[in-house]
Amino acid sequence: MTTIPSFTLNDGNQMPAFGFGTFQIPADSSTKAAVATALRLGYRHIDTAAAYFNEREVGQAIAESGIPRDQIWVTSKLWLQDYGFEAARTGVDTSLQKLGLNYIDLYLLHQPYGDVPGAWRALEAAQQAGKIRSIGISNVTPRLWAKFVPDFDVRPAVNQVEFNPYFQQQPLRALMASTQTMLEAWAPLGQGNPELFQEPVIQALATKYKKDAGQIILRFEYQSDVVVFPKSVHEARIASNQDIFDFALTDDEMVSMQALDKGHGRHDPDAPGVAERLLGVFDVHADQ
């Protein structure tokens, strides 16, 4: 079984550097089955969210795994409907109830819009109460960072954003270094972008190390001190995704991967109308 290394967050907590994502896995027993498979194969970091509508199945898989609770890192996220201090307090409790847990290891503000300050204060209070171990943010760009983060009493432990070789978030990472905030990658494989997978440098490294293109990409991200949690519902892919700890890219190879950066991604949190569109997409209260 693969031993997963950890990164130390700015609050001192140790978070597994590699995990399992559940975005867009339906709550029709598919999430429960996929998480159970991941845990059986050695994963100890599971990422979910209120707006994924599968927190219950994540919790069921954890409860039935037989693995001690303190050996599994669980991340969830608060949706925009529950921003503001009182609403966010209720949202945290709802996530705990759905997951069937006494605490959540990492809880994020899923989107940086609306009453972010009030929601953040609620996360700080929940952390003080022992309901959450680490608190963080998601989809926060340099502009949104400057708008909100300097006024937070507690530094975000994590910022979960789009990250892959085509979008390496260099300006944001420079800003996050001031607070030692860890970057977590959503879409670490570029959402399966075939152009990325066929990049000559990635193909050459895959041949050299006898790995597939996805494993090369994930290894690059791990060596870039980025937390990754690819998603799959297929056991073979769940197993192979974490098979990245038996080799290392050289400094020159890392530079060649860094050269793939295009400086932009598929999602722009700063674009006009994003907040309004997202608020209309999910009704997390319909799942309660």
For the annotated catalytic residues, the residue numbers are: 52
The closest of 55, 145, 144 to 91, measured between CA atoms, is 55
Angle between helices 55-65 and 85-99 (to 10 degrees): 40
DSSP run (H or E) holding 126: helix 116-128
Burial class (CB in 10 A: 0-12, 13-18, 19+), 127: buried
The four Cα atoms 15, 16, 22, 23 give a dihedral, to 10 degrees, of 60
What gap in Å lies between CA 56 and CA 247, rounded to an integer? 36
φ/ψ of 8, rounded to 5, equals: -95, 125
Range list of β-strands (E), 110-181: 132-138, 158-162
Q: Is 137 helix (H, G, I), strand (E, B) or coil?
A: strand
The closest of 80, 72, 36 to 54, measured between CA atoms, is 36
